[in-house]
Structure 1
Amino acid sequence: MLLQYLVNMPVASVIFALTIGLSIYVFSNPDWYGRLMLHPYSIHRDKSKFYLIFSSGLIHKDWMHLLFNMITFYYFGFPLEQIFVEASGPMGHVLFAALYIVALVLSDIPTIMQQKNNPGYYSLGASGAISAVLFSFILFYPKVKLYIFFALPMPAFVFAFLYLGYCIWASRNAKDGINHDAHLFGALTGLLFTLVAYPWIIKHFIGQF
């Protein structure tokens, strides 16, 4: 089973293992949080700190944060890499890696611009990139059932509209310490990247209804 994942979905497998491994490591070595978390103030003043965009996407605040993101990635990231390969052959692996990396960057850019003068602001987690993966998947399968809080079922396209609406509202109003901008711009990156890579996806999406 493990070998099958590595052979058929190598990019998703590496992302999955690296994120879990590094997150567990920082749980036991909390001093590494400060070295790996996104810190817009530092990035704005020292471009060599750009790597924090990537390292912050590989660590999580706690077990619940990690579990939620990795469950989502498992159910949508691995299938999405297969979908890309079915559509593009071996190049699909490269496209899936590009989607994830581009989403990590673009989902954090708005936060960096907004918080560049705030030395006390830090952020972490893969939620931006995973939102991109989820929304890319939804373009291929808009009517698949998603279970909100593992209990409430709804079609994926309905969830997508609700998710985007909530992210827009929360980014302006919520005071919960969650980087809702990363969720929003990650989701939009997933949509845009897939539209560019597969222009026929619009016709496919509409044809599902």
Structure 2
Amino acid sequence: MTDTGIIVLLLILLNILFSYKGFTNRTFFDSYQFEIDPILVRKDYKRLVTSGFLHVSWLHLIFNMISLYAFCGLIGDHLGGLRFLIIYFSGLIGGGLLSLLIHRHHGDYSAVGASGAICGIIFAAIALFPGIGIGFFGLPFTIPGWLYGILYVLFSIYGIRSGKNNIGHDAHLGGGVVGMLTALVMKPDAFVHNYFTILLIAIPSIAFIWMMIRRPDLLVVDNFWFKTHHKNYSMDDRYNAEKNNAQRDIDRILDKIHKRGMSSLSRAELEKLKEHSKNIP
């Protein structure tokens, strides 16, 4: 067995053991999952890594491990086991950091799963081998890696902005971009040969991340379901909805103070509470 094979086997075993422990012990799960407040307030940075070894179900775990196994050989054979491991953890941490950026004002946001790390491996493979065929379970065809990468980035951007489901699109996008950039640092000549594909994937991804930093107010759009079922959604409705959402945020902060004290609040929550107090007549 190659060094990459041994590393992948160990990663799969760690994911299985860690996830099983989380399935059977909620305290363990809560202690190691990705959660905004413990990371930003208590500086519990280990959660950026440990959350990547937890999963919400056996189906979630199995799907991620199959995806990992499917792409490990391509990267491992080309770059070696150590570089494969570096890309894996770069994607994992990169996905977590992007989630932290997007949800920094959502203190109770939580997530688990190895998807960010696996997206890092997949996008690294696309950057180095844009012509690879990527198949889907049960379907008798593949699509070129470069097309898959572009479609995946666009889908992730839409998913982050719409917020229409519970999929961690932000961790997928962050992990994919960081994994791709890490692979290019290791093999810079790949950019010369595959620059068109790489730029098609990198430019919209980086532009979107920059937009989130500079203009976070543009992040959220109307949910597709809401558009479909509420065609008469007026500006007054939007104002009232935003007002209600703001009040729910304040109620959540006050409830958090009641349960954990003022010291548990993040900087963003303290600023929001201060701003709310100014508007009280």
Match of 2:160 among 171, 177, 180: 171
- Do the aligned partners of 1:54 and 1:105 also contact (CA within 8 Å) in 2? yes
- 2:32/2:50 contact within 8 Å kept: yes
Q: Give the structure-2-normalised TM-score.
A: 0.65
Per the alignment, in what secondary structure is the counterpart of residue 109 of structure 2? coil
Verify: 1:102 aligned to 2:85, yes or no: no
- Counterpart of 1:15 in 2: which secondary structure? helix
Cα displacement (A) at 1:149: 4.1
CA-to-aligned-CA distance 1:83-142 (integer Å, 9 cap, x gap): 212xxxxxxx32222211222111111221332342321111011110000011122322
Over aligned residues, Cα RMSD in angstroms?
2.1
The Cα of 1:13 is off from its aligned counterpart by 2.3
- Contact conserved, 1:72 with 1:130, CA < 8 A, in 2? yes
Q: Does 1:189 align with 2:178?
A: yes
* Greater Cα radius of gyration, structure 1 or 2: 2
Q: Is the 2:90–2:179 Cα contact (8 Å) retained in structure 1?
A: no
Residue identity opposite 2:133 in structure 1: K
User: Where has structure 1 moved over 3 Å in runs of 4 or more?
Assistant: 203-208
How many residue pairs are counted as aligned between the two chains? 196
Q: Helix, strand or coil for the counterpart of 1:154? A: strand
Matched, 1:153 2:142: yes
Equivalent residue of 2:45, what SS? helix
Q: Which residue of 2 aligns with 1:89?
A: none
Q: Would the aligned equivalents of 1:9 and 1:82 in 2 still touch at CA under 8 Å? A: no
| Aligned counterparts, 1:43-62, within 5 A | 43-47=39-43, 49-62=44-57
Q: 1:205 is matched with which residue?
A: 194
2:195, 2:104 → 1: CA distance?
40
How many Å apart are 1:61 and its aligned residue? 0.8
> Residue type of the partner of 1:23?
S
Q: Verify the 8 A CA contact 2:33 2:111 in the aligned structure 1.
A: yes
* Deviating more after overlay: 153-162 vs 93-102: 93-102
User: Offset of 1:206 from its aligned partner?
Assistant: 6.5
Which blocks of at least 5 consecutive residues in structure 2 are unaligned?
198-281
Question: Which string of whole-angstrom CA distances, capped at 9 and with x for unpartnered residues, describes residues 53-96 of structure 1?
Answer: 111000111111111111110010243122212xxxxxxx3222
Q: Which residue of 2 aligns with 1:119?
A: 107
1:205 is displaced (CA, Å) by: 3.2
Residue in structure 2 matching 1:73, options 58, 68, 71 = 68
Once structures 1 and 2 are overlaid, which stretch shifts more, 54-63 or 18-27?
18-27
Letter in 2 for 1:84: L
Q: Distance in 1 between matches of 2:65 and 2:94?
A: 20
**2: CA distance between counterparts of 1:78 and 1:164?**
23
Q: What amino acid maps onto 2:135 in structure 1?
A: Y
Pairing partner for 1:16 from 3, 6, 12: 12
Rounded Cα–Cα distance in structure 2 between residues aligned with 1:34 and 1:13: 26
Maintained 8 Å contact 1:40/1:113: no
Identity, % of aligned pairs? 27
Conserved in 2, the CA contact under 8 Å of 1:132 and 1:191? yes
The corresponding residue for 1:136 is 124
* Distance of 2:40 and 2:23 partners within structure 1: 27
Question: Normalised by the size of structure 1, how large is the TM-score?
Answer: 0.85
CA-CA distance at 1:8 after TM superposition:
4.9
Q: Structure 1 unaligned runs (5+)?
A: 86-92
**Residue 163 of structure 1: how far off its partner (Å):** 0.5
Q: Relative contact order (alpha carbons < 8 A, sep ≥ 6): 1 or 2 greater? A: 1
Q: Conserved in 1, the CA contact under 8 Å of 2:90 and 2:120? A: no
